[in-house]
């Protein structure tokens, strides 16, 4: 469902990039809830939209993958909002990603200015599915400490392959952890440095 090449507009409102706000999750209309079929690297993937989603956040860490899912989701972004949108937080916490998970480690355990629950509720590992090749290029370039706005949908994913049927479920909560706690996001719009990409 390619919706065109990148478009750029320098007049994006600064209020859209308020990484202090919690992400916005909204119900979808009946039309927007229809499955989306994507053909990637010879495989057919079905996306089942679950909710509209908008997140403005700081990139805590990014990682590109080369695995069986990478044709569909080439990059994961660890994102933080609220207090975690402040780069000074990195004085206390180190971020990393591996094997489609993200991790954080306290550098100074005795002086962390907020509890572990705050990190859990204000950060997320997001499996990114770009809606267009142009968006994929922009999303691959994101690096730590950049503030970014992502617009799109949270989706469940199904695929029938030679290795069997696979199903991945997106998280619909900001305070879960463990298996299926990652958001799977079909990204239709990106704003970075005041520039809009579609």
| Model pLDDT for residues 89-103, shown as the tens digit of each residue | 998 899 999 999 999
Least confident range from 5-9, 41-45, 52-56, 63-67: namely: 5-9
How large is the C-alpha radius of gyration of the chain? 17
- Which sequence spans correspond to the domains of the chain? 19-28+36-174
Rounded-to-integer distance, Cα 94 and Cα 91, Å: 8
DSSP symbols for 132-157: SHHHHHHHHT--TT-EEEEEEEEEEE
Rounded-to-integer distance, Cα 197 and Cα 57, Å: 16
pLDDT at 52: 98
pTM of the model: 0.89
Confidence label for 13 from pLDDT (cuts 50, 70 and 90): low
pLDDT tens profile 122-181:
999 999 999 999 999 999 999 999 999 999 999 999 988 766 788 999 999 998 988 889
Comparing 50 with 68, the larger pLDDT belongs to 50
Beta strands in the chain (DSSP E): 24-26, 36-40, 43-64, 75-80, 93-98, 101-106, 123-130, 147-161, 164-168, 183-192, 195-197
Specify the 3-state DSSP secondary structure of 161: strand
pLDDT at 163: 66
164 by Cβ neighbours in 10 Å (0-12 / 13-18 / 19+) ranks as exposed
Residue 12 pLDDT greater than 70, yes or no: no
């Amino acid at each position: 469902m390619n919706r065109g090449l990148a478009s750029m507009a320098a007049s994006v409102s600064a209020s859209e990039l308020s990484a202090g706000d919690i992400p916005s999750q909204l119900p979808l209309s009946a039309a927007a809830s229809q499955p989306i079929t994507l053909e990637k690297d010879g495989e057919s993937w079905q996306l089942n939209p679950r909710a509209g989603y908008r997140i403005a956040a700081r990139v805590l860490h990014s990682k590109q993958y080369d695995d069986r899912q990478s044709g569909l989701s080439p990059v994961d972004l660890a994102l933080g909002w609220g207090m975690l949108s402040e780069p000074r937080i990195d004085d206390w916490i180190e971020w990393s990603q591996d094997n489609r998970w993200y991790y954080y480690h306290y550098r100074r355990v005795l002086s962390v200015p907020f509890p572990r629950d705050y990190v859990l509720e204000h950060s997320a590992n997001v499996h990114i599915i770009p809606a267009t090749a142009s968006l994929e290029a922009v999303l691959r370039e994101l690096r730590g400490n950049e503030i970014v706005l992502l617009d799109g949908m949270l989706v469940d994913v199904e695929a029938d392959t030679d290795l069997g049927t696979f199903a991945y479920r997106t998280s619909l909560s900001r305070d879960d952890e463990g298996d299926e706690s990652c958001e799977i996001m079909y990204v239709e719009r990106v704003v970075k440095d005041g520039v809009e990409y579609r």
